[in-house]
Amino acid sequence: LAQVLQPLAVPIPGVSIMEVRQVVTAWLARARSAFVWLVLLLILLCGSASAQTAFQECFDGSLFPASLCCDIEFGPKGFDRCWDQEFTYEHCCSVAPPPSCSVSLCEEVWSFLDPSSSHSFRDFWRSDVFYAVRRARKGSINCTMAYIASRALAFTKLPWEAQWEVLHSPAKALLSDNFQLPSIVQALREMIGEVSLWTVLSSPPWSSFIFQRLHGHKNKLGYSFLSDGMPMLDGKLPFSDIRDKPEDVDARTSMQYVLNRKLPIPTANLQAYLEKAANSVPPTELPPFSLVCVHLMLAVSAVRGDGNDAVSAAQHSVELAGKHLRAWAFRHDYGDLFFTHWPVLRLLALIAMALAEGRPPSLPWTPSPWRAVANEEGGYARRVLLLACNVGSRVEVPSEFRWDARLVHPRHSSRHGALTSSCVAEYAAIVQAHAARYAWVVLVSPYTWEWTRQHSTVVHDSILLVANETAMTALGFPTVGKSGMLSWPARRLVRRGSKLWYSPYPTGYPGATSICARGDSTSGTRVYRSETLLGLLKHASADSDATFFVELDLLALQLSVESALTCMIPPLHEEDYLELAELPDEFVHRHGVESAEFSPKRHLINCMHGSSLRSSSASRDTEEDGLSSELPWLSSCQEADVVQLLKMFVTFEQSRSVIDSNVIAVIVPTLEGDPSITSGDGGVTVLGAIEFRKSPGDTSAQAPSLPWREAPSACREALLFHDSAPSSSKLVEPKATCRASLACGGRGAGCLEVRLHLTDSDTSDVVRVLLWGTLVWTLDPRHKWSKQGGRKESNLAPGDRGDIKLWLLYCGPLDLALPRAGSASGHLVRGPIEECPEVWRQAIKAAPVGAWTVLVSPFTWQWDDGQFDAMAEVAYEVRARGGDVGGLPVVSRERIWQWPAASVTHRFWRLSYGEPSIEQQLALLRGAAGQCEASDSTSGTRVYAPGVLKRLLAAGRSRSDPATLLVEFDVLASRAGTGRAWTCLAPPLQEEHFLDQAKLPVQVSEQYQIEAARYTPANVQQQCLTTNGTNPWALAHQLSDRRIATRLCYRQKIEAQFCTIAAWWKNLDAESHFVSVKQGTLLTAMIRGGEVAMMPWDNDLELSLYSTGSHLVLQWCSWHLEWEARSRCIAERLQSELGLQTKVASDPVPEWLYKERLVLAKLKVEVAGVFDVNFQAWVPMMPISVTMFGKAKVRVSWPLWEHLFFEIFKVGWVKKVGTSGNIASAVESCSSDHNACIPLCAHRSAEPADRTKSPCILEFDDFLAHTRDPYGNAFPPASQ
């Protein structure tokens, strides 16, 4: 039995195996019977079980498993941290089996590393196989690679500080108490220094796992340690890049450019780079990583080929790269491998994937088959025509492209007595004559200020990448002006009547494909397929450089041609054509565009003086439940003329020293016949009439000075309009032959008739209508909305309505009584307005069942039975239309008439009431009684269907503010999707509009999640919600993770703080200081509409405050020699300077440099809890500038941007909503029914096959989700 126990080698705590042997021998000597033998056997079995339990107690299976503790490579007695007085190496490990390399061991390792595995790294780390593979790594190359792969994973899971130690202090890491660090250092050394690089790359599945993991983690390391992407210029990190010369930087940039876009490897250029260095006298020593990358690039090119020769060539190049890599590793730590700007790990990952899959490496998109295109008959390059003008003496195009490049001279001509020159006229002539011979036409903008070989190259490469893209009008590019300002030219183009305007997309672009974004327009320099351009030129005038590209954009929009593409390539050097575009007469006449808004600061209008464009007769259909008639569409010039005339009239009326009570100045629309906009004599468009109504014998009024189109002298005298001094005027009775005169605006697009009527009306009943915000139109009080101008009779016909029961509810300052006639009942209370909400809630309980409730507004200033009768008529109209609520126009004490029908927009932390358009009000004023419009709101006095008001009162929160409670009614009805509010055309209610009185109290703000409310243009309220003690940044983080836009006030605040920080830094030294942005903020600045606002889902911003010389902030507190004291001192001073809470951010790089070398080369702080701010000195001025949030100018570097876009964000077109953007996948749905839910993306095509060709990208319809629109409006107009 002792011999049976010996092989088990199961230790028992406190008892050695020799003691067990002695006990067993003694028992055998005394055993005399079978019973004793049986007892002994049971004891031994129990002892064996106890021994097994004791063995398990030696190792807890997680922190200290047997394979770790007993590994003698840690020393004679294994890993020392496993043992104490009770558990010793001798006691627990005397019989531990030695590990061996086996297929099953490798399979078990892969079961944890497989991307499809459900095991976590913690599961792997706790398992015996994690430690066993280390002891067995020498058994075969398979076990060696499994070991390296396991430690590559372990490395990426270490804390940042531990990773830093592994990379920059490997000798120190080998002696670390953390048992993982020595193992990881050992694995890196074996991967680079001991195993052939070709073996490492050609050992699937380990190879692709290792290098994909390390390459991805390289980006994360840079994102954490060098978050701004900038090298440590003073601390010299990365060290291996400090000897890079300009030609080396060019070579490195070229490699990244090709890899980012999956373009053909330029093998000839790479060989030339090596030969130039070798043939120089003396020979130039290239940077070590440049040699590694050149050979790896050649290997990528070879591995994309076919056959054994390709593999042999790839192996040869890889072995050469490995030779240089081992030579570098022998003299350096591994930090630079992860921080170098040379794409070493990226290339290793590409080769490993290619060898593992037996085919070229896959990228996030499927590239166009460039080889097939290039080998077409005649050659691909020969099928490109390039036209350039005003770009200097020559256009640089590489000879290998074999393009037909033509330098065009402007065509000179005389127009309207002025000498003009045009490049595009020559462009059009050449294209129409020769374009059929070419597949592509490159039109270089006449506003290009430089065209180099590089520009030709990037255009050439872009054509290769989109050659198979059929859904494309034009191909364009980012541009930079002479000032250095970047232009992202993907813009939205809108045509409405005679108005045309460009605007940026709210988040940069509505779609993308490959490396290009979609939009309605692109840059001035653009590429067309020849057949597309020929089709557009058939309709273009092509006579103005400034307008030619606008015309092409407009034609593409009108012809419903596919969208333009803007490709992510280095920017071209040209001025934005929209900043130079004009509105010449030919363009206006050809396209009927009178007004063009090329940018928020550039709005042009051309009315072609004396010409009558019929664009004014264009119309649009209203909603089915709205006004059924067509609404007139005032052209830009007609509107300008009417505004000018009315301003003149209002100025005249307000400037009179004496205003007779019997003088009524009335402005009404033209009422004689249809169409409502008529053509007068001489082709003049008559938009309406100005009527002077005066009592007979009155002579007090003086005449306004109006621009006359025609006015017979008799009428001038009769109408008191004279060329002579006003003192000579006198009232003359109108003659029968005197017809009305026409006063026309200065643009000649529209006129108003001017008439004189004698009347005995009392002016106290005059009603004024506000149009265009402030202009006053007045109505005759006898305008009873009856049949006029041949229009149909009112639908609100009088008659018995005995089938509707009405219940009247009122609370307010008036002493009202129930109607004298009829059987109406009600609850009428005279009292303070602030008590009305509670009065309503109590009174509604007594409302008769089935009765319609007429709720009289507390802001009513006069009430009579006629208004009650009108509300009864409205009730019938609402019931007939299936609605729940109805109202009427209102007139204030100041006699201002208002049409209260309004849309209610409750989105993105805002509540906004719309306004009726000018055209809509004109149609109403011309219309007959009985017309009703459906909307989301109506007058304060309103009639509710049975039961509706009771439900709304139960849900409303306002207790002492009836105006805000009425707002709640509108919001609740809108959210519930119940019947719409109807407003009918009838004599107005005499009440102040409740929206003028509404507020935004805290309880309403919290209930409906509203931080800003626009009730009227003059009544805008803001109420920022509290966080209830939650950190604002954390709350914003939670909201974006739920696909809810971060709060409006939060974003407004940090945008303002961003501009404050930028201005503070720039003002300290305007010459050498500049501001840059990084990470997600850089993405917003470059292509996501950062010029206007931050993204609605953003919760923080990242910026860098750089200096081209020594850095002011880094020199502060120099009397402190300890890192903690100095960094804290700097943070405290920054807090004092900025007025914002500031603390030192977690960043081991500056701390490491300071402690190791006493160099403060870089600093990272956290400001206001939302800003990551980097400070660094001696940074060269970045050449490109971008505007942020409307006013802050920041500088950016294109290479850093490309790194972020292609490598960090993996071709970052998709707008991800959620934590960290680049890490977390997009949130698929909003977690609640919130007004700020961010919409899901929408594919351009409904066909599933087409959806794989382009990413799914969300875009907003307007700027309401942002803090402002491009014009700075907090509440963007619906038209924008």
**DSSP codes, 1029-1078:** T--HHHHHHHHHHTTBPPPHHHHHHHHHHHHHHHHHHHHH-TTTEEEEE-
pTM confidence score? 0.82
Q: Which of 162-166, 507-511, 673-677 has the lowest mean pLDDT?
A: 673-677
Residue 705: CA count within 13 A, CB half-sphere: 6
User: Which of the residue ranges 342-351, 389-398, 552-561, 1199-1208 has the most confident prediction, judged by mean pLDDT?
Assistant: 342-351
Which residues lie closer than 8 Å to 741 by C-beta, 6 or more apart?
708, 709, 710, 711, 712, 715, 716, 719, 721, 753, 754
Confidence of residue 7 (pLDDT cuts 50, 70, 90): very low
Contact in structure between 1149 and 226 (CB atoms under 8 Å): yes
pLDDT digits (tens, 9 = 90+) for 1221-1257: 433 345 667 766 789 999 887 655 444 444 445 577 8
Q: Which residues pair with 421 in a beta bridge?
A: 412
User: Residue 748 CB: number of other CB atoms within 10 A?
Assistant: 19
State what percent of residues in the chain have pLDDT above 70: 71
Can you give the pLDDT at residue 1042? 87
Can you give the pLDDT at residue 754? 62
pLDDT digits (tens, 9 = 90+) for 694-731: 444 444 444 444 454 444 444 443 333 322 333 333 33
Q: Round to whole Å and give the CA distance between 268 and 507.
A: 41
Can you give the pLDDT at residue 57? 62
Helix, strand, coil: what percent of the chain each, to 5? 40, 20, 40
H-helix or E-strand containing 751? strand 751-758
What sections of 804-917 are H helices per DSSP?
836-843, 865-880
Q: What is the mean pLDDT of residues 791-807?
A: 55
Confidence of residue 753 (pLDDT cuts 50, 70, 90): low
Q: Round to whole Å and give the CA distance between 714 and 702.
A: 17
Contact in structure between 1218 and 1225 (CB atoms under 8 Å): yes
Under DSSP, the state recorded for 78 is S
Which DSSP string corresponds to 1096-1136? Answer: TT---EEEEEEESSS-TGGGTTTT--SHHHHHHHHHHHHHH
Can you give the pLDDT at residue 800? 42
Q: Round to whole Å and give the CA distance between 449 and 1241.
A: 38
Q: Length of the chain, please?
A: 1280
Q: Round to whole Å and give the CA distance between 995 and 351.
A: 67
Which residues lie closer than 8 Å to 1120 by C-beta, 6 or more apart?
1126, 1129
Q: Is the peptide bond before 669 cis (omega within 30 degrees of 0)?
A: no
Q: Is the peptide bond before 675 cis (omega within 30 degrees of 0)?
A: yes
Can you give the pLDDT at residue 1158? 84
Of 891, 917, 915, nearest to 901 (Cα)?
Answer: 915
Q: Which of 78-87, 141-150, 573-582 has the lowest mean pLDDT?
A: 78-87
Residue 261 has φ and ψ, to the nearest 5°, of: -110, 5
Can you give the pLDDT at residue 729? 33
Confidence of residue 639 (pLDDT cuts 50, 70, 90): confident
Average pLDDT, the chain: 78
What sections of 559-624 are H helices per DSSP?
585-591
The SS3 of residue 170 is helix
Confidence of residue 418 (pLDDT cuts 50, 70, 90): low
Tokens of 130: 């994690």
pLDDT digits (tens, 9 = 90+) for 899-921: 899 999 999 999 999 877 655 66
Q: Which amino acid is at 944?
A: Y
Q: Round to whole Å and give the CA distance between 903 and 623.
A: 12
With vertex at residue 432, the alpha carbon angle to CA 428 and CA 434, rounded to the nearest 5 degrees, is 115
The pairing of strands 890-891 and 989-990 is parallel
Torsion of CA 194, 200, 201, 203, to 10 degrees: 160
H-helix or E-strand containing 211? helix 206-225
Under DSSP, the state recorded for 442 is E
Which residues lie closer than 8 Å to 433 by C-beta, 6 or more apart?
none
The rounded Cα 472 to chain-centroid distance in angstroms is 23
3-state secondary structure 484-505: CEEECCCEEEEEECCEEEEEEC
Contact in structure between 180 and 154 (CB atoms under 8 Å): yes
Q: Round to whole Å and give the CA distance between 740 and 708.
A: 11
Higher-pLDDT residue of 1166, 180: 1166
Which DSSP string corresponds to 774-785? Answer: TEEEEE-TT--S
Q: Round to whole Å and give the CA distance between 506 and 1093.
A: 9
Can you give the pLDDT at residue 649? 61
Using left for φ > 0, alpha for ψ between -120 and 50, and beta otherwise, residue 436 falls in alpha
Can you give the pLDDT at residue 237? 62
Confidence of residue 69 (pLDDT cuts 50, 70, 90): confident
pLDDT digits (tens, 9 = 90+) for 344-362: 999 999 999 988 875 443 3
User: Which of the residue ranges 12-21, 382-391, 615-624 has the most confident prediction, judged by mean pLDDT?
Assistant: 382-391
For tokens 């109108």, what's the residue?
A: 734
User: Which of the residue ranges 22-31, 788-797, 852-861 has the most confident prediction, judged by mean pLDDT?
Assistant: 852-861
Higher-pLDDT residue of 785, 481: 481
Which residues lie closer than 8 Å to 790 by C-beta, 6 or more apart?
673, 674
Contact in structure between 1078 and 229 (CB atoms under 8 Å): yes
Torsion of CA 759, 763, 768, 774, to 10 degrees: 110
Residue 415 has φ and ψ, to the nearest 5°, of: -135, 125
Is the predicted pLDDT of residue 54 greater than 70, yes or no?
Answer: no
pLDDT digits (tens, 9 = 90+) for 168-207: 888 888 888 788 898 999 999 999 989 999 999 999 999 9
Q: Round to whole Å and give the CA distance between 184 and 149.
A: 10
Confidence of residue 770 (pLDDT cuts 50, 70, 90): low
Q: What's the count of helices (H) and strands (E) in the chain, helices before strands?
A: 41, 49
Contact in structure between 387 and 408 (CB atoms under 8 Å): yes
Q: Round to whole Å and give the CA distance between 777 and 501.
A: 29
Q: Which of 34-38, 379-383, 415-419, 535-539 has the lowest mean pLDDT?
A: 34-38
The SS3 of residue 633 is coil
Under DSSP, the state recorded for 711 is -
For tokens 């390391």, what's the residue?
A: 221
Is the predicted pLDDT of residue 376 greater than 50, yes or no?
Answer: no
Can you give the pLDDT at residue 55? 43
The SS3 of residue 1020 is strand
Tokens of 485: 């300002």
Burial class (CB in 10 A: 0-12, 13-18, 19+), 1062: buried
Q: What is the mean pLDDT of residues 51-70?
A: 60
The SS3 of residue 646 is helix
Q: Which CA distances in Å does 380 have to 266, 462, 527, 530?
A: 17, 13, 15, 14
Higher-pLDDT residue of 1029, 799: 1029
Under DSSP, the state recorded for 634 is -
Higher-pLDDT residue of 555, 668: 555
Can you give the pLDDT at residue 316? 93
pLDDT digits (tens, 9 = 90+) for 276-333: 888 876 777 888 899 999 999 999 998 877 556 788 899 999 999 999 999 888 888 8
